[in-house]
């Protein structure tokens, strides 16, 4: 059962990674620790740390503005790339892609 | 022009100090959103710069259950648009 789930996760990551323009994918757990990444170690750790913090702050901003609301997605566009973060209950999925694609 | 777009709930223009200078929403909502989003934009911008000092934030899109907030940071202003997510 466990290995089926892992295989499914791998498949999904492969599918996202093969999308044109995708530079990297990182999955971080609720503590901000990267548990899967297609990037090198130091980039992963850097992205994970900063983005975990940013998502937590964004989430509390959303809740401050309306306690009954909740963050569902965050999209940070910059000159060089676009970072998309999908926060889930126990994990955050981070995808970094080329902004022009 | 943005206001007449279907689904747009509100627009706020915030200056570099985080003070709202134009808004289509009521005063208290405007002040709240302006302060929070100004702060969040600063955080996002420094996160982007920390990852790459030569990069810079161009747009922020915050999707939540109830609506979507888009922030376009310019040199001296922040344009904030709040819209219904299903549009």
Q: For testing the chain A interface, which of B39, B44, B71, B81 should be mutated: the one with the most A CBs within 10 Å?
A: B44
CB–CB of B52/A96 below 8 Å? no
| Predicted local distance difference test score (pLDDT) of residue B12 | 96
Angle (nearest 5°) at CA B38 between B32 and B41: 135
pTM: 0.89
Chain A: residue whose CA lies nearest to B36: A61
**Among residues B80, B40, B51, which one has the least CA distance to residue A83?**
B51
Asked whether this complex has an ipTM greater than 0.85, the answer is: yes
Please report, rounded to a whole number, the percentage of residues in chain A having pLDDT higher than 90.
Answer: 73
For B55-82, b/e burial (b = at least 16 CB within 10 A) is eebbbbbbbbebbbbbbbbeeeebbbbb
Kindly tell me if the per-residue pLDDT of A29 is higher than 50: yes
């Amino acid at each position: 059962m466990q290995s089926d789930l892992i295989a499914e996760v791998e498949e999904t990551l492969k599918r996202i990674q093969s999308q044109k323009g995708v530079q990297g994918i990182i999955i971080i757990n609720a503590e901000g620790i990267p548990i899967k990444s297609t990037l090198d170690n130091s980039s992963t750790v850097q992205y994970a740390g900063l983005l975990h913090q940013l998502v937590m702050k964004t989430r509390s901003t959303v809740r401050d503005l309306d306690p009954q609301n909740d963050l569902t997605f965050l999209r940070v566009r910059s000159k060089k790339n676009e970072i998309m973060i999908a926060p889930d209950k126990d994990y955050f999925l981070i995808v970094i892609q080329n902004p022009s694609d | 022009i943005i206001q007449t777009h279907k689904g747009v709930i509100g627009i706020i223009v915030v200056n570099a100090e985080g003070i709202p200078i134009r808004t289509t929403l009521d005063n208290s909502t405007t002040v709240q959103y302006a302060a929070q989003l100004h702060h969040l934009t600063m955080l996002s911008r420094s996160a982007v710069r920390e990852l790459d000092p030569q990069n810079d934030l161009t747009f922020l899109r915050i999707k939540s259950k109830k609506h979507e907030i888009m922030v376009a940071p310019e040199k001296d202003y922040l344009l904030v648009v709040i819209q219904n997510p299903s549009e």
